[in-house]
Structure 1
Amino acid sequence: MALASSLAQLQAEASCPICLDYLRDAVTRLGTTPCYPCIQQCWKCLHDIFPCPVCLQPCPDKGIRRNTQLCLMIDCVRNLPNTEDMRKWQKEKPPCEKHRHVLSLFCEKDPELLCPQCRVSSDHRGHPLAPMEQAAPSPRRRIKAHIEPLTKQLEDHFLGMEHDLVHVRLLNEEKRVQDKIIEEKNQISNHGPTLQSLLDEITEKCLQPDLDLLIDIERIHSTYENLESPAGFSYDLKEEVFTLPQQYFGLHKMIGTFHVDLTFNPETAHHSLIISQDRKMATFRGMEPNCVLNPEAFTSHLEVLSSEGFDAGRHFWQVKEKGLGEWSLGMCKETFPRNAPSSPSPSNGCWRIQLWGTTHGIRNSGYTCWIGVFLDYELGEVSFYNLNDRSHLYTFSDIFTERLMPYFSIGPSSKSLTISLVEDEC
């Protein structure tokens, strides 16, 4: 295991931090060691400042050079076996180095893989042991929960790195413009005394007697005719393209694969909610205590369920909100009580997040909040995404054992707030 881990670490260190492939023509004079083609691409259009794309430490010039010794080492790493080859090699020798038996048990206290003879040794006597196939699901769930936050961190890293490179390019462009402005300002400053001197000379000449007036008159005419004013400075802003990393589009792929089309179930809607004819929109209209109540409708809170429910698989849907006030969305059990006075929570079978509509005032007028919900039933996760900026909001983790229904709610203090179920628009 240690050899395979060291091998994997060595192969990772031999990779370019930009393209993530094995280094090609590794270069030096930087805080990190990228490929020569990658660093040239990152420094394209830069003039004065050449930062390292990873640590952002400035390089004094473009004088990077190929590290021959390091390139030879990378070629050696390429020829090493990968971790899969190492696993096959490890399976050919006795797994348990102490007893030479096949590893088939897992000690949940230590934790450690054991062979049948290990279980009776003094080191693990009395410890909770389980067969490997029974012990694996729980650790698998735990490590799989790290995928999403690590993916988000990687996206943020690439976005931050791209943002810093754009910032450096803008600083270079700003310096060039400032230098040009200073040059034009000096020309304008010098032109003022020239104009004043010529004006004084012409004014004095006009007051002279005829003889003196005619002397050197042609030079004054020539000076005036050939007088040139400094050219005005103009600058066209260049469009700066912000390139998103490939990881940023993972959400787009997830939506395209698992998107489902939902509708509201008017039979479950609180009497203060108006459900549109196509059952795609729920609008808060205010309290109407004298209306006829449906036995399946919510009565304690302004809530409504989807007509569709799920008891397996992965599903993604999108919701838009417009208006002012509090609202929430998520999942609840099909048996979730319709008249419970307590607030919905995971303890009573409802996994939801609360949001606040801010479409009031001139500044936010017309703003629409766009939220995505992703259910992984077998993994036991409900995740929420802000689709306005493609950011992850929150993930609930639990064990689902019964049918789940998409859940929506509007706060009692809301004003003209509308929730809409939308098709795939991402």
Structure 2
Amino acid sequence: MAFAASLAKLQAEASCPICLDHLRDPVTTECGHNFCHSCIHQRWEDLRGTFPCPVCLHHCPDRSLKRNTQLCRMTEIVHQIPTMRGKRKRQEEPLCKKHNEVLTLFCEKDLELLCAQCMVSSDHQDQPLIPIEEAAASHRRMLKSHIEAKTNHLEVVETLYKNQVQNTWEVKRKMGKWREELDNECKEIKCFLAIERNEIDNDLLIEEKDVEEKLIENGRQISYHMFRLSNLLSEIEEKCLQTDLDLLTGIESIHNRYENLETPAIFSCDLKKGSYNLPPNYLGLHKMIRKFLVDLTLDPETAHPNVITSSDRRSVKYGTPSGFPNPQDLTSYPAVLSSEGIDAGRHFWAVKITGTGECFLGVCKESFPRNTHISPSARNGCWQYSLWIPTSGPSSIGQPKIGIFLDYELGEVSFYNLNDCSYLYGITDTFTEKLMPYFSIASSSASLKIRIIRGK
């Protein structure tokens, strides 16, 4: 009995771990395991770069293998010893549960191992049945293709996971930076922004918590997906190293999990800083003037005959026409345009109004209709704000200095009383062509004068 056990061990040592038969032309890998020359080369046929040992998965650097001459002679000797190997092998082979016969066929439709008796049964007639060796070779190639695809997929998901982790810290960094900017603004206008600052900070905290929770949850989903991918890859790699019968046993489960494995959706945390901007007058009118103030001059070529511009082209008043009208003038209403046009960015200019009466300030598009009696309005490309300076009695404006702020991209024109830094009026529209600063004096306002100034 002991002899038989020792003989069985000797025969096992002289067997190839891949084909389970006696070693033929044995070669030895770098990790010390022995295989048939043809078996190991067939196993590595489609691999590139590194070559895993089928036994211990040690990565061999190349296909260079040493021929084991001594083992070859020993195998020949073992092969000549009469044994019960064939009988033992048959006893260990799994049998068909229905017919108790050796499994020799594989059904490609049902992905099921069958015996010869199953082939003639009604359940598998007219179904594609192929020998186990052929089926195993086909599915082994398919599994190898899965390994490469899922390895690449795992690398992509790992990158996505790292990016999401980085985004979590980026959110914290951006939030911290914006809080610092917010604090700096609050120091300039502390009296006006105390309440607003607290509200905005609460909004930031809420959004930060919301985004962070979503990123963490998304990270958990990606991490779990990575775990499932890794497990599936390990199972596929292990499956590829198994015998034909073991490989095909339960192969349907692997195929189903491979096909149904879906990558979780990636949560995008695009933060919009603009949504936290306070109204411009709250951010400090002085700062806005310093940053966006432009120096304008009037264009006499666009002046209405009843509009008189000064020699320095900085002031305009209503007066009696002299000479011939300009071919480009705005004859419909007593107005004049700036020499400078605006087609992008943010710009601020200011005027001082003296006298009494009514005037109009704003912008109009460069193609604003001329030599017509169309009333200036946003419909025909003129965005203006009307100011009335009373002849007597109290006035909330008095002799005002008016600031005009244009944000071309946002489509906003805002008007400010520079005497008390208060917000007067705002216009919102969409601008598609060059805009010209617009100055107009009502015909009944002979004493009124508008002068462009360099600041408050």
TM band (smaller chain): 0.3 to 0.5
The normalised TM-score by structure 2 is 0.42
The normalised TM-score by structure 1 is 0.45
Larger Rg: 2
